[in-house]
Structure 1
């Protein structure tokens, strides 16, 4: 069973296009988890329309504490053995789910993967053909602690990762960085170099390709996430 988790907030402009790219790739036993964080536009009415016509769509009221907490909540509601994360404004290419599922089948020790994305504008016109090349994406715990490569829009992981990853600490910079590092420190992450997502950038994006945070803020984040990882993976398993 597959779960796709989307954290929504005022995403009416693009959410239908994203849902239409995801649902045809899912089987009847799969699920699409939508956690809405209090949208004030037409997002909820759109999501309810899909919920009414497709039993695979499961809609929840998010915790109202921002994108990290909202994704944490969506993931906690998932039931699938493989969990895909999706942004509300992207578009999945038709072969995404099959490609990732085949990769997991061929690499049974891997618990988390990120696949490449094409960066596009609001009209889906190409800005950068490869997110991986543009960002210099590589694996490695220390490297990603300093300069994060893990991106939720291209991420999928096994449900077995949830026992270590959830709940996602409130003070980490982003949910995808936390999930990636949890897998990376255990050497259970992998890269799928094939481009499987159109990663749409526009004026209302919740995330940034290049952070605008100060050096001081970035250092605070790294210290916070390092402490959280130590508590989760060392102290927790010691009890």
Structure 2
């Protein structure tokens, strides 16, 4: 069972090597790491190439200037039967891949817990699950998303319904979570297998109260719901 790890990068030189060093030892020789780079102007790609690992496949472009659709580009390049998502500055903890693959023997989507840390890996939140009251349930996740993208992995068939992403999607993990709840079997693994960095360059907040306006939240949920009928007929 081939694994694809999808990473969307943009000016991630500060942490990208630490991240890849935490991922690659957990993969086999036939697995792959898909790097979709959205016009980085720093040394991100240079550092990645310095590893000279045949499992890393780089797809550089300047099409999106948007992390959501940069992730979509990565997903479209993946060839594995199981797909992991990873942010460019997180650290995977030992045992993550084995635990997730075991869970996917009886489920289609697996979500692990994580610890929220700062730039220097000081723990801000011991358990994202406890902080967000994470768990399954369509209405529960429509009200407040519990699917954190960097903690997700899923079988390839999920992409049949999930792609393409609808327009004006604020975050990819919200859409993938809804698709999972609508059509597939999910499992939440209550063990933190990731150190998830939160800092000023992150695109969303997980350890602080969301400042997104109520109007924007309602607008997004309506935008998501109205695309569900189209998804029903995707094969």
TM-score band by shorter chain is over 0.9
In structure 2, how many angstroms separate the alpha carbons of the residues matched to 1:54 and 1:170? 35
Q: Find runs of 4+ consecutive structure 1 residues off by over 3 angstroms.
A: none
In structure 2, how many angstroms separate the alpha carbons of the residues matched to 1:31 and 1:211? 34
- Structure 1, unpaired ranges of 5+: none
> Aligned runs of 1:1-239 on 2, under 5 Å?
1-50=2-51, 53-62=52-61, 63-105=63-105, 107=106, 110-209=107-206, 210-233=209-232, 236=233
* Contact 2:108-2:184 at 8 Å conserved across structures: no
Give the TM-score taking structure 2 as reference length. Answer: 0.94
Number of aligned residues: 231
In structure 1, how many angstroms separate the alpha carbons of the residues matched to 2:120 and 2:83? 28
In structure 2, how many angstroms separate the alpha carbons of the residues matched to 1:13 and 1:65? 19
In structure 1, how many angstroms separate the alpha carbons of the residues matched to 2:17 and 2:199? 16
In structure 2, how many angstroms separate the alpha carbons of the residues matched to 1:228 and 1:73? 20
* Contact 1:112-1:180 at 8 Å conserved across structures: no
- Larger helix percent: 1
Q: Could you give the per-residue CA deviations for residues 25-71 of structure 1, whole angstroms, max 9, x where no partner exists? A: 00000000000001111112112223xx1110000024323011000
Give the TM-score taking structure 1 as reference length. Answer: 0.93
User: By how many angstroms is 1:187 displaced?
Assistant: 4.4
CA RMSD, 1 decimal: 1.3
SS of aligned partner of 1:231? helix
In structure 1, how many angstroms separate the alpha carbons of the residues matched to 2:120 and 2:65? 30
